[in-house]
């Protein structure tokens, strides 16, 4: 019994570690897409932020400068996306794809030019990383059965960015559903004409949405580079931006269900490694690749409308051209 409980706590911790960047990116995508801007570029923004934060951490040794640089770069890329989609009415998907491809190349080109390590950044020590935080009394309560283990083993001992990611979900929920800005944000994604008629700038609202997206993907990239790992390696985001996009769609563009989807996808990833070679009675051995592909398969099934209907914001991807 105790073993099973400890195993559960370990798996839960692994899930949280994997899910953190997904959660941040899913919330970023949510702000953007609720405002009507398709955000394929989550992957690129996260990867760019990971590279810059790892570089700054390696050079300066400061986690805060690294976090700031990661966020700044992701915001620049978000502004580029906004410039193309909002100002120039460009195709949202094309712009996102451009950012992803450009960043995947540029991070390696600059990495080699700056550090001469084949595209990696030098690995950084504990001082230049976000390290696990022990919550108050965690050591004292460790021996208390169940609740103590839960507190000291699961709630305590993550790094700051993990706590930020989970807070971001509730902040997102509050902003989107409980503030005037959130109401307008949702409106501009559904019916920009109405928002414009009310005398509110469609472009400025959408720019603010993509900026928030930049902020969150910047944190996600920093997490990848100097919290989960100790440096940047080529293409380290490895499709997580797309999984986050899938999770956001899976959560039907709502913060709390999107969090649930991120945790589910994180759990799948955490158990995929453990299930390698395990024979399930009656089914046989489950291929690891199947579990890894499951988030994508489930998203397609959901989009096909076989498990509930995922309806995107109505004006998504449509450039708003003011009538002359």
- Sole window of 79-87, 141-149, 211-219, 263-271 interacting with other proteins (rule: CB under 8 A): 79-87
C-alpha distances (whole Å) from 165 to each of 143, 145, 194, 255, 263 are 28, 28, 33, 12, 12
Nearest Cα to 19, choosing from 276, 323, 270?
Answer: 270
Among 126, 199, 289, 322, binds other proteins (CB under 8 A): 289
Among 246, 258, 261, 315, binds other proteins (CB under 8 A): 246
Q: Alpha-carbon distance 306 to 27, whole Å?
A: 25
The reply on whether position 267 binds other proteins by CB under 8 A is no
CB of 228 to other proteins, least distance (A): 21
CB of 42 to other proteins, least distance (A): 12
The reply on whether position 240 binds other proteins by CB under 8 A is no
- How many residues make contact with other proteins (CB under 8 A)? 47
Q: Alpha-carbon distance 223 to 46, whole Å?
A: 9
The residues in 34-53 that bind other proteins, with binding defined as CB under 8 A, are 38, 40
Burial of 296 (0-12, 13-18, 19+ CB in 10 A): middle
CB of 213 to other proteins, least distance (A): 16
Q: Alpha-carbon distance 221 to 70, whole Å?
A: 7
Provide the token pair at 316.
């998504």
Among 233, 245, 247, 315, binds other proteins (CB under 8 A): 245
Strands 284-285 and 279-280: antiparallel
Q: Alpha-carbon distance 99 to 96, whole Å?
A: 5
Among 106, 135, 141, 150, binds other proteins (CB under 8 A): 106
CB of 48 or CB of 153, closer to other proteins = 48
The residues in 109-168 that bind other proteins, with binding defined as CB under 8 A, are 109-110, 112-113, 119
Question: How long a stretch of residues is the chain?
Answer: 324
Q: Alpha-carbon distance 36 to 34, whole Å?
A: 5
The residues in 81-100 that bind other proteins, with binding defined as CB under 8 A, are 83-85, 88-91, 93-95, 97-100
Binding residues for other proteins, rule: CB under 8 A, are 38, 40, 80, 83-85, 88-91, 93-95, 97-106, 108-110, 112-113, 119, 239, 242, 245-246, 249, 287, 289-290, 292-293, 296-297, 299-300, 303-305, 312
């Amino acid at each position: 019994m105790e073993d099973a409980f400890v195993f559960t706590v370990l798996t839960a911790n692994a899930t949280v570690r994997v899910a953190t960047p997904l959660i941040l990116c899913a919330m970023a995508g949510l702000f953007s897409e609720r405002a009507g801007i398709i955000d394929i570029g989550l992957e690129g923004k996260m990867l760019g932020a990971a590279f810059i934060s790892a570089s700054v951490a390696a050079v300066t040794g400061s986690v805060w400068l690294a976090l700031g640089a990661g966020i700044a770069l992701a915001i620049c890329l978000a502004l580029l996306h906004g410039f193309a989609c909002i100002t120039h009415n460009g195709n949202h998907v094309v712009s996102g794809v451009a950012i992803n491809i450009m960043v995947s190349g540029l991070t390696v080109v600059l990495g080699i030019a700056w550090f001469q390590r084949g595209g990696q950044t030098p690995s950084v020590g504990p001082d230049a990383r976000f390290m696990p935080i022990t919550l108050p009394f965690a050591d004292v309560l460790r021996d208390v059965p169940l609740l103590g283990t839960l507190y000291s083993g699961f709630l305590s001992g993550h790094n700051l960015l993990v706590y930020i990611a989970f807070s971001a979900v509730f902040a997102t929920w509050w902003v989107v559903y409980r503030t005037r800005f959130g109401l307008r944000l949702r409106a501009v994604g559904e019916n920009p004409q109405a928002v414009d008629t009310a005398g509110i700038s469609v472009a400025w609202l959408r720019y603010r949405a993509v900026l928030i997206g930049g902020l969150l993907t910047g944190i996600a990239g920093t997490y990848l580079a100097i919290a989960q790992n100790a440096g940047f390696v080529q293409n380290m985001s490895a499709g997580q931006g797309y999984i986050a996009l899938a999770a956001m769609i899976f959560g039907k563009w709502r913060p709390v269900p999107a969090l649930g989807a991120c945790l589910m996808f994180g759990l799948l990833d955490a158990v995929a490694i453990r299930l390698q070679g395990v024979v399930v009675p009656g089914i046989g051995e489950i291929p690891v690749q199947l579990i890894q592909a499951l988030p994508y398969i489930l998203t397609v099934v959901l989009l096909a409308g076989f498990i509930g209907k995922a309806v995107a914001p109505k004006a998504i991807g449509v450039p708003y051209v003011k009538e002359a």
